[in-house]
Chains A and B, each alone.
Chain A
Amino acid sequence: MIRMENICKSFGGRVVLDDVSLDMPEGETLAIIGRSGSGKSVLMKHVIGLLRPNSGRVLVDDTDIGQVSYKTLRGIRRQFGVLFQGGALFDSMNAFDNVAFPLRTFRSDPEHKVRARVLQCLDLVNLSGVETEKPSELSGGMAKRVALARAIALEPRYILYDEPTSGLDPHTSTRINKLINGLAEKLAVTSIVVTHDMRSVLSVADRVAFLHKTRMHWVGTIGALHRSTNKILRDFVKANEYSIGVDVRVSSETVRP
Chain B
Amino acid sequence: MPVLQRRLMQPLFSLGRYALLLTKGFVWLGQFSAYRKDLVAQCVRIGIESIPIVALAAAFSGAVTTVQTAYQLVSPFIPSAVIGAVVVQSLILELGAVVTGFILAGRVGARIAAELGTMRVTDQIDALEAMGLNSVGYLIVPRILAGVIMFPVLYVSAVSVGVAGGLLAAAATDVVTMAEFVQGARESYLLFGPTFGLIKSVVFGFVITSISCYMGYFTEGGAEGVGRSTTQAAVISCVFILISDFMLAVLLL
Question: Is A77's CB under 8 angstroms from B126's CB?
Answer: no
- Kindly supply a per-residue 1/0 record for chain A positions 38-54, scoring 1 wherever the CB is within 8 Å of any chain B CB and 0 otherwise: 00000001001010000
B10 within 8 A of A: no
Q: Kindly provide the distance from the CB of B125 to the nearest chain A CB, expressed in whole angstroms.
A: 9
- Residues in B whose Cβ lies below 8 Å from that of A70: 24, 134
Question: Is B132's CB under 8 angstroms from A84's CB?
Answer: no
Q: How far is the CA of A158 from the CA of B129 in the complex (A)?
A: 15
Question: Is B123's CB under 8 angstroms from A78's CB?
Answer: no
B19 within 8 A of A: no
A75 within 8 A of B: yes
Question: Is B127's CB under 8 angstroms from A77's CB?
Answer: no
B173 within 8 A of A: no
Q: Which listed residue (A50, A76, A91, A105) contacts B133, Cβ 8 A?
A: A105
- Residues in A whose Cβ lies below 8 Å from that of B127: 82, 84, 88, 90
Question: Is B126's CB under 8 angstroms from A88's CB?
Answer: yes
Interface-central residue, B129, B131, B133, by most chain A CB under 10 Å: B131
Question: Is A77's CB under 8 angstroms from B129's CB?
Answer: yes
- Kindly supply a per-residue 1/0 record for chain A positions 56-89, scoring 1 wherever the CB is within 8 Å of any chain B CB and 0 otherwise: 0000000000000010001111101010111011
- Residues in B whose Cβ lies below 8 Å from that of A105: 131, 133
Q: Kindly provide the distance from the CB of B158 to the nearest chain A CB, expressed in whole angstroms.
A: 29
User: Contact residue range for chain A?
Assistant: 20 to 34
A102 within 8 A of B: yes
Number of A-B pairs whose CB atoms are under 8 Å? 48
Query: Which secondary structure dominates chain A's binding surface?
Result: mixed
- Residues in B whose Cβ lies below 8 Å from that of A48: 129-130
- Residues in A whose Cβ lies below 8 Å from that of B134: 70, 74
Q: Of all chain B residues, which has the CB nearest A153? A: B131
B122 within 8 A of A: yes
Question: Is B133's CB under 8 angstroms from A88's CB?
Answer: no
Question: Is B118's CB under 8 angstroms from A84's CB?
Answer: no
Q: Of all chain A residues, which has the CB nearest B24? A: A70
B68 within 8 A of A: no
Q: How far is the CA of A106 from the CA of B131 in the complex (A)?
A: 9
B14 within 8 A of A: no
Question: Is B123's CB under 8 angstroms from A85's CB?
Answer: yes
- Residues in A whose Cβ lies below 8 Å from that of B118: 91
- Residues in A whose Cβ lies below 8 Å from that of B195: none
Q: How far is the CA of A144 from the CA of B111 in the complex (A)?
A: 26
Question: Is A84's CB under 8 angstroms from B131's CB?
Answer: no
Q: How far is the CA of A68 from the CA of B171 in the complex (A)?
A: 68
Q: How far is the CA of A78 from the CA of B133 in the complex (A)?
A: 9
Q: How far is the CA of A108 from the CA of B150 in the complex (A)?
A: 31
B188 within 8 A of A: no
4 closest A-B pairs by CB = A78-B132, A88-B123, A88-B127, A77-B132
Since A48-B129, A50-B130, A84-B130 are in contact, a sample of 4 more A-B pairs with Cβ atoms closer than 8 Å, ordered by chain A residue number, is A50-B126, A75-B132, A78-B131, A102-B131
Which B residues are within 8 Å of any A CB, using their own CB? 24, 118-119, 122-124, 126-127, 129-134
